[in-house]
Amino acid sequence: MIGAKPARKRPSKLLDNLVYGLVWLACLAPLVWLAWRGFTGDLGANPIETLIRQLGVWGLRLLLVGLAITPLARILRMPRLVRFRRTVGLFAFSYIVLHLFSYVGVDLFFDLGQLWKDILKRPFITLGMGAFLLLIPLAVTSTNGWVIRMGRATWQRLHWLIYLIVPLGVAHYYLLVKADHRPPLIYAAVFAVLMSWRIWDRVKRT
Amino acid sequence: MLIRNAPDLTENEVTDHGLYLRRREFIGGAAGLGLAGLAGTAGAAPLRYSRGFSTTEKPTPKDDVTTYNNFYEFGVDKGDPAENAGRLTTRPWTVRIDGECEAPRTVGIDDLIKANKLEERIYRMRCVEGWSMVIPWVGFPLKDLIASVKPTSKAKYVAFETLMRPSEMPGQAWNVLEWPYREGLRIDEATHPLTLMAVGLYGETLPNQNGAPLRLVVPWKYGFKGIKSIVRITLTEKQPRTAWNVSAPREYGFYSNVNPAVDHPRWSQASERRIGEFRRRETLPFNGYGQYVADLYRGMDLKKNF
Instruction: Please give the angle made by the CA atoms of B75, B81 and B86, to the nearest 5 degrees.
Output: 120
Pick from A27, A147, A15: nearest CA to A92: A27
Evaluate if residue B23 carries a pLDDT over 80: no
Distance from CA of A23 to the nearest CA of B (A): 30
Strand B271-274 vs strand B131-141: parallel, antiparallel, or unpaired?
Answer: parallel
Q: Where are the alpha helices (DSSP H) in chain B?
A: 11-14, 17-21, 23-26, 30-33, 62-65, 80-84, 109-115, 142-148, 187-190, 243-247, 290-293
Least confident range from B63-72, B97-106, B138-147, B259-268: namely B259-268
B197: buried, middle or exposed (CB in 10 Å: 19+, 13-18, 0-12)?
buried
Confidence of residue B33 (pLDDT cuts 50, 70, 90): very low
How much is the mean pLDDT over chain B? Answer: 89
Q: Is residue A37 domain-resident? A: yes
CA distance A110 to B191: 43
Beta bridge partners of B120: B51, B138
Chain A's closest residue to B174, CA to CA, is A180
Q: Is residue A6 domain-resident? A: no
Residue B7 pLDDT: 44
Of A45, A107, A179, the CB nearest to B76: A179
CA distance B181 to B76: 14
Q: Is residue A135 domain-resident? A: yes
Helix axes A152-159, A123-140, angle to 10 degrees: 160
Q: How many CB atoms lie within 10 A of CB B29?
A: 12
pLDDT digits (tens, 9 = 90+) for B149-207: 999 999 999 999 999 999 999 999 999 999 999 999 999 999 999 999 999 999 999 99
Confidence of residue A12 (pLDDT cuts 50, 70, 90): confident
- In this complex, do A179 and B131 lie within 8 Å of one another by their Cβ atoms? no
Q: Is the predicted ipTM greater than 0.95, yes or no? A: no
Confidence of residue B22 (pLDDT cuts 50, 70, 90): low
Helix (H) or strand (E) holding B141: strand B131-141
Gyration radius of chain B's alpha carbons: 18
Confidence of residue A4 (pLDDT cuts 50, 70, 90): low
Which among B67, B280, B283 is the top mutation candidate for probing chain A, defined by the most A β-carbons within 10 Å of its own β-carbon?
A: B280
Domain count, chain A: 1
Helix (H) or strand (E) holding B98: strand B94-99
B89: buried, middle or exposed (CB in 10 Å: 19+, 13-18, 0-12)?
exposed
- In this complex, do A45 and B177 lie within 8 Å of one another by their Cβ atoms? no
Evaluate if residue B300 carries a pLDDT over 90: yes
Is residue B68 within 8 A of residue B129, CB to CB? The reply is no
DSSP string, B3-50: -PPPSS--HHHHS-HHHHHTHHHHTTTHHHHTTGGGSSSTT--B---E
Is residue B214 within 8 A of residue B198, CB to CB? The reply is yes
Pick from B4, B274, B253: nearest CA to B127: B274
Q: Is the minimum CB–CB distance between B186 and chain A shorter than 8 Å?
A: no
Residue B129 pLDDT: 94
Q: Is residue A8 domain-resident? A: no
Evaluate if residue B214 carries a pLDDT over 50: yes
User: Chain A partners of B82 at a C-beta cutoff of 8 Å?
Assistant: none
Q: Is residue A3 domain-resident? A: no
CA distance A8 to A72: 18
- HSE of A94, CA atoms in CB hemisphere, 13 A: 11
pTM over 0.90: no
Residue A5 pLDDT: 55
The CA-atom distances, in angstroms, between B104 and each of B159, B195, B303 are 14, 21, 36
Is residue B238 within 8 A of residue B244, CB to CB? The reply is no
pLDDT digits (tens, 9 = 90+) for B101-160: 999 999 999 999 999 999 999 999 999 999 999 999 999 999 999 999 999 999 999 999
Chain B's closest residue to A178, CA to CA, is B129
Q: Is the minimum CB–CB distance between B238 and chain A shorter than 8 Å?
A: no
Residue B189 is given by DSSP the state H
Q: Is residue A129 domain-resident? A: yes
User: Chain B partners of A46 at a C-beta cutoff of 8 Å?
Assistant: 68, 78, 131, 273, 275
- In this complex, do B68 and A45 lie within 8 Å of one another by their Cβ atoms? yes
- Which residues of B, range 49-78, sit inside 8 Å of A by Cβ? 60, 63-64, 67-68, 72, 76, 78
Q: Residue range B280-289: average pLDDT?
A: 96
CA distance A136 to B283: 35
B14: left (phi over 0), alpha (psi -120 to 50) or beta: alpha
- In this complex, do A45 and B67 lie within 8 Å of one another by their Cβ atoms? yes
Instruction: Please give the angle made by the CA atoms of B273, A60 and A116, to the nearest 5 degrees.
Output: 45
A153: buried, middle or exposed (CB in 10 Å: 19+, 13-18, 0-12)?
exposed
Residue B239 is given by DSSP the state P
Residue A205 pLDDT: 85
Which among A51, A107, A115, A178 is the top mutation candidate for probing chain B, defined by the most B β-carbons within 10 Å of its own β-carbon?
A: A178
CA distance A120 to A126: 7
- In this complex, do A46 and B275 lie within 8 Å of one another by their Cβ atoms? yes
Of B60, B68, B177, the CB nearest to A179: B177
Q: Is the minimum CB–CB distance between A201 and chain B shorter than 8 Å?
A: no
Domain that holds residue A118: 13-205
pLDDT digits (tens, 9 = 90+) for A185-205: 999 999 999 999 999 999 988
Q: Is residue A2 domain-resident? A: no
